Amino acid sequence: MTMPTDLLQRLTGLVGPTGVVTDGSDLEPYAVDWRKLFPGKPACVVRPSSTEQVAGIVQVCREAGVAIVPQGGNTGLAGGAVPDASGTQVVLSLNRMGAIRHVDPVGLTIEAEAGCILKVAQDAAAADGRLLPISLAAEGSATIGGVVAANAGGVNVLRYGMTRSLVLGLEVVLPDGTVANGLRRLRKDNAGYDWKQLFIGSEGTLGIVTAAVLRLLPRPKHSVTALISVADPPAALRLLALSQDELGDQISAFELISATSMQLVAKHAGLKAPIAEGEWFVLIEAAASLAGLREAADTMLGAAFEQEIALDGVIAESVAQAAQLWALREHVTESEAREGRSVKHDVSVPLTEVPRFLSEAGNALAAGAPGTRVNAFGHLGDGNIHYNILVGPDHDAGVVNRIVHDVVAAFGGSISAEHGIGQYRVGELARYRASTEMNLARAIKRALDPDNRLNPGKVLLP
Ligand code: 2HG
Ligand code: ZN
User: What's the pLDDT tens digit per position in 48-62?
Assistant: 999 999 999 999 999
Among 26, 60, 93, which residue terminates a domain?
93
How many domains are contained in the chain?
Answer: 4
Distance 344 CA to ligand 2 centre (A): 11
Both 403 and 316 in one domain: the answer is no
Q: How does pLDDT run across 296-351, given as a tens digit for each residue?
A: 999 999 999 999 999 999 999 999 999 999 999 999 999 999 999 999 999 999 99
- The beta-carbon contacts of 197-200 under 8 Å, at least 24 apart in sequence, are 197/164, 198/444, 198/448, 199/148, 199/149, 199/170, 199/172, 200/148, 200/149, 200/151, 200/163, 200/164, 200/167, 200/170
* Global ipTM: 0.99
Both 108 and 210 in one domain: the answer is yes
Q: Point out the ligand 1 atom lying closest to the alpha carbon of residue 336.
A: 8
User: What is the model's pLDDT at position 90?
Assistant: 98
Both 172 and 196 in one domain: the answer is yes
Rounded mean pLDDT of 416-422? 98
Q: Is position 232 within any domain?
A: yes
Distance 291 CA to ligand 2 centre (A): 30
CATH code, domain carrying 159: 3.30.465.10
**Would you place residue 5 in the very low, low, confident or very high pLDDT band (cuts 50, 70, 90)?**
confident
Both 274 and 193 in one domain: the answer is no
Both 318 and 263 in one domain: the answer is yes
CATH code, domain carrying 239: 3.30.70.2190
* Percentage of the chain modeled with pLDDT above 90: 98
Whole-number average pLDDT of the chain: 97
* Ligand 1 cavity residues, CB under 6 Å: 77, 137, 333, 344, 378, 386, 388
**Contact criterion met (CB below 8 Å) for 421 and 391:** no
Q: Is position 458 within any domain?
A: no
Rounded mean pLDDT of 390-419? 98
Question: Of 4-8, 320-324, 372-376, 424-428, where does mean pLDDT reach its minimum?
Answer: 4-8
Domain that holds residue 150: 100-218
In this predicted structure, the answer to whether residue 102 has a pLDDT above a threshold of 90 is yes
Both 213 and 131 in one domain: the answer is yes
In this predicted structure, the answer to whether residue 1 has a pLDDT above a threshold of 70 is no
Q: Is position 1 within any domain?
A: no
User: What is the model's pLDDT at position 2?
Assistant: 57
Task: Specify whether the backbone of 388 is left (phi greater than 0), alpha (psi in -120 to 50) or beta.
Answer: beta
Ligand 1, pocket-test mutation among 139, 333, 336, most atoms within 8 A of CB:
333
User: What is the model's pLDDT at position 3?
Assistant: 77
Both 212 and 110 in one domain: the answer is yes
Rounded mean pLDDT of 222-235? 98
Q: Is position 443 within any domain?
A: no
Both 384 and 361 in one domain: the answer is yes
Both 294 and 355 in one domain: the answer is no
Rounded mean pLDDT of 215-242? 98
